[in-house]
Amino acid sequence: MPSRIGTPTLEGMPDEIQCHILGFLSYNEIIRCALTCLTLYNTVKCSVELQYIIELGAQRLIEVHPRSPTASLADCLTILRKKANAWNNFKPIATDAFRVKTLCDLNSVVHRNIISCTPSVHVDAASNTVDIKTNSTCTAKVVMNPNPVPHTYRYMDESQDIEVIITFPIDADSDGFKYRISFRSISTGEEHPLSHGSRVVGGRAACSEAQFIKIAVAVFDDRLAVYIAGLDENRGPCWSLHVLSWQRPGQADDLCVIGDGTELLDIRFLVKEKLIALSTDGHIHLYDTEDPSKAPRLHARFMMPVHGKLGVFDHPSNFHSATSCADLAVPVDHWIWATNPADRVISVTWADPSSMYIVSARIFFMDVPSTWFDATSEDGRSVKWSSWGPQNSRLVPDERFGMQRRCFFGVGGSRVVWAGPVADRSDSSFQLYMTDFNPSVVARGIGQVVRGPTTSVSTYLPFVEVAHDIAFDAPLWDIKLDEETMVVFTRPTIESEWKMQADVFEM
């Protein structure tokens, strides 16, 4: 008689085989498997690899930096847990400080590197650089002369060693507006080796009589978005939005979104397949940019309860990925992770009327139910605020800021750092508050958990908040942060002059 072999089961396999199989699952699937029996529970508990996957998933993080060759997986797991616990009391440690002579309008920090610059659109514009290792961008408004001469807009992303140079107008007439896009390596000053030369791009963005041109640029990995706005032949507003792969040759350069009337105020990539834009009529436009050989496809317009002529996205203009961080050297004890794109938050600030909203990016990654779309809108792509807004956003009350609104918050990952006046003091001193919208942090109940609605506009996005009990005495200028670093920019008086001081804190 042939021998009967029992059906193999997962718990009956060697531990290393169990770990290998479980390693293909998501973190919550691994947890569910561990709860099925004692054997799998012990396997998961004793496996550094599986614990690392669980910790990454629980904190909603992804790896972006290359792991140091001297760091083991156990070392990274220890650092990861230590970083998470450090937020329990929000006591960041100052590790560095420096001063510059001018107050810079644009500041950013990504993965321990800082840039400060003053935006310019002149041909020979240059940043007042402190330590360029990341990108800077802004929406610029360029006054056109009666006899147009070429203007230049510059965008830099040091993590990819690229400077995007846009020269315009190449040709302006009643039928279109052309501009040249060039790509230069920051380190060498030569043409970027991945760019395959410059491109002349055409779109219906302005006529030859336009008095000014508005321009904005965003870059993520190989994706480049360029927004150009002006006036048409009837002196009405019109614009074009190009999204292309700056590393891919032979693409058609006339594929773009054409718009009339309502202008865009700001553009940002969430990931290279998704672009968001803020418009003057109070919509957040979500574009599908997965295929750069096709024009961006409008997925939805998310309506907001307020809007105005001035509005911006106050979040890092480029969320770096593993590709863009591949050349960055990371010591063993430094942060090598970033918040999952869907778990990040975006700040939308309106100047008139004054208001600020924190929006969860998860709304831009989900499948929008067909019932959410407003059938009465022009193309059926508008989503009413009542359908998406209250549960996916949080209105920031004006009293949060206490003094001037301009610089009293910083956004990075799922966290927002606020600055408010110190109790019982009437000077320019301030203290910081950390607010975290990460669902896992809210579930753990770190700090004060806030779930109730705001008063003026009902918004319910839950968060936790922890106060930093140290007071800053100098007037605040700016706050920037990412997953591992916070930089507080102040403007103390040094030798009877204003200077900008940056204090760097490890989180």
pLDDT at 52: 93
**Range from 120-129, 350-359, 405-414 carrying the lowest mean pLDDT:** 120-129
pLDDT at 120: 42
Q: How far apart are CA 194 and CA 343, in angstroms?
A: 31
> From start to end of 289-395, where are the E strands?
297-303, 311-313, 337-339, 345-351, 354-360, 382-383, 393-395
pLDDT at 317: 46
Q: Is residue 365 very low, low, confident or very high in pLDDT (cuts 50, 70, 90)?
A: very high
The structure's pTM equals: 0.82
Q: What is the pLDDT averaged over residues 136-159?
A: 67
Q: pLDDT tens-digit profile of 415-472?
A: 888 887 777 776 778 888 888 898 888 887 777 888 888 877 889 999 988 877 778 8
Q: pLDDT tens-digit profile of 34-50?
A: 999 998 899 999 999 99
Domain ranges of the chain: 10-85, 93-506
> From start to end of 78-160, where are the E strands?
93-100, 106-110, 113-117, 135-136, 140-143, 151-157
Buried b (16+ CB within 10 A) or exposed e, 454-475: beebebebebbbbebeeebebb
pLDDT at 393: 93
pLDDT at 299: 93
Q: How far apart are CA 241 and CA 204, in angstroms?
A: 10
Q: What is the pLDDT averaged over residues 271-297?
A: 91
pLDDT at 1: 43
Show the CA angle centred on residue 121, arms to residues 120 and 126, nearest 5°. Answer: 50
Q: Is residue 311 very low, low, confident or very high in pLDDT (cuts 50, 70, 90)?
A: confident
Q: How far apart are CA 451 and CA 458, in angstroms?
A: 11
pLDDT of 288 higher than 90: yes
pLDDT at 30: 93
pLDDT of 236 higher than 50: yes
Q: Is residue 172 very low, low, confident or very high in pLDDT (cuts 50, 70, 90)?
A: low
Fold classification of 93-506 is Methylamine Dehydrogenase; Chain H (2.130.10)
Q: How far apart are CA 330 and CA 334, in angstroms?
A: 6
Percent of the residues in the chain that have a pLDDT greater than 70, as a whole number: 73
Q: Is residue 388 very low, low, confident or very high in pLDDT (cuts 50, 70, 90)?
A: very high
Q: pLDDT tens-digit profile of 8-66?
A: 677 778 888 889 899 999 999 999 999 999 988 999 999 999 999 999 998 888 887 76
**Which residue in this structure is represented by tokens 């924190």?**
358
pLDDT at 337: 80
